[in-house]
Amino acid sequence: MLNDYIENYLQETKQIADTVSKTEIANAVDILAKTKKEGGRLFILGVGGSAANASHAVNDFRKIGGIETYAPTDNVSELTARTNDEGWETTFVEWLKTSRINANDAVMVFSVGGGSETTSLNIVNALKLAREVKAKIISIVSRNGGYAKEVSDACMLIPVVADERITPHAEGWQGVVWHLLVNAMKNKDI
């Protein structure tokens, strides 16, 4: 039984690799290259396991990709103060306002569902601000992609291949895709 589970999981991973959009990945690399060239910053947003991925990705984009990168969830004191004083829905948008997000910047979203009118409102509100200031938006999402997919300039939609494993595949593929992006930037010499 365990061997069957392992085999299924790995087969699902292969299926995702065969169907994730290479065009959207290339679009994301181009956006990141332009952001870096123009002296813009990259802000990575994620909640839960995606927040942990955002923190790791900040390291990689800064150290390997050479692009100024931040995640609001890396400062737990500010995050929890904003949650307590202003509400969860405003945590990312107010952080981006303080960071003076602008048209030279990019926002990258790691999210299983991508946000909606009732879920991940902190991501949705941040993306509304990003659109308002004309920052580029990149997302790595699953399910139907939610609001993030609707407003992204590049969206890597991780297909649902097994309903019971949406989150592990979505969050696992966030890592696959951001590592691909970082190394594409490095190898593209941008």
What angle (nearest 5°) sits at the alpha carbon of residue 98, between those of residues 95 and 102? 100
Q: 141 and 108 in contact (C-beta within 8 Å)?
A: no
Segment 57-78, tens digit of pLDDT: 999 999 999 999 999 999 999 9
Mean pLDDT score, 79-86? 96
pLDDT of residue 187: 80
pLDDT of residue 62: 97
Query: Model pTM?
Result: 0.96
pLDDT of residue 189: 56
Mean pLDDT score, 150-155? 98
Segment 109-149, tens digit of pLDDT: 999 999 999 999 999 999 999 999 999 999 999 999 999 99
- Domains (range + CATH), the chain: 2-187 (3.40.50.10490)
Give the whole-angstrom CA distance, residue 50 versus residue 104.
24
pLDDT of residue 183: 95
pLDDT of residue 108: 99
